[in-house]
A and B are shown apart, each in its own frame.
Chain A
Amino acid sequence: DAMVIQNPRYQVTQFGKPVTLSCSQTLNHNVMYWYQQKSSQAPKLLFHYYDKDFNNEADTPDNFQSRRPNTSFCFLDIRSPGLGDAAMYLCATSRVLSGGENEKLFFGSGTQLSVL
């Protein structure tokens, strides 16, 4: 089945140790998003790509970086994780400008990041 896959499912890192989360999609969607979600809170958009165009949210810390080497893959790099970065990280895709049901967001299962 076409889907959005995130790896790893759980990630434990040490304070200040760089970590990379990955996302792949087989839907051929043109937009990919990274969201951060903390317990009982709304998902918070960190950045998104429209094709290769990168769009950073104004309040996303510089500690967070992203790469999209091709349509199928997208990476989230946290350069120096702090305790406050412990959260669920969600990748999502969408085919915008296609209209109607095709513009639904499809999410991966998420990566739960713990910082020790």
Chain B
Amino acid sequence: KQEVTQIPAALSVPEGENLVLNCSFTDSAIYNLQWFRQDPGKGLTSLLLIQSSQREQTSGRLNASLDKSSGRSTLYIAASQPGDSATYLCAVRRLNDYKLSFGAGTTVTVRA
């Protein structure tokens, strides 16, 4: 069974600081990994998807890296803004499977 862990559970930083969010997974036989953002009481919005053959993906201020062999992914958010305050979840899809296993997320607060 795939276990996905995100540490820390919560993070508070001043505006302008770079954010580093971690995700680890136990089974390296993955098809892809996705990072999501969730605002309080809302659904999830996909931020980045990394295929198992890729090392990283970038979108604007966001960059996600994947080290499949060590079972880790990192989401970097450059020059954080108060609007980046949300919970960030990672999810892993295994090979030959349509299901995603989610971490519990890291709740980020960016202080103005």
Contacts and interface: CB of A to CB of B under 8 A. Distances in A.
Contacts of B104: 40-42
Contacts, number: 58
B26 to A, nearest CB: 14
A104 B105 contact: no
A100 B44 contact: no
A55 B16 CA distance: 45
A105 B46 contact: yes
Nearest to B100: A105
A42 B103 contact: yes
Interface residues of A, number: 28
B98 A90 contact: no
A43 B98 contact: no
Given A42-B89, A106-B46, 20 more contacts: A6-B43, A40-B9, A40-B105, A40-B107, A42-B102, A42-B104, A48-B98, A55-B98, A88-B41, A90-B43, A104-B46, A105-B36, A105-B46, A105-B91, A107-B36, A107-B43, A107-B44, A107-B45, A109-B42, A112-B41
Interface of B: 4, 9, 32, 34, 36, 41-46, 49, 51, 89, 91, 93, 98-100, 102-105, 107
Interface of A: 4, 6, 31, 33, 40-43, 45, 48, 50, 55, 88, 90, 92, 94, 96, 100-101, 103-110, 112
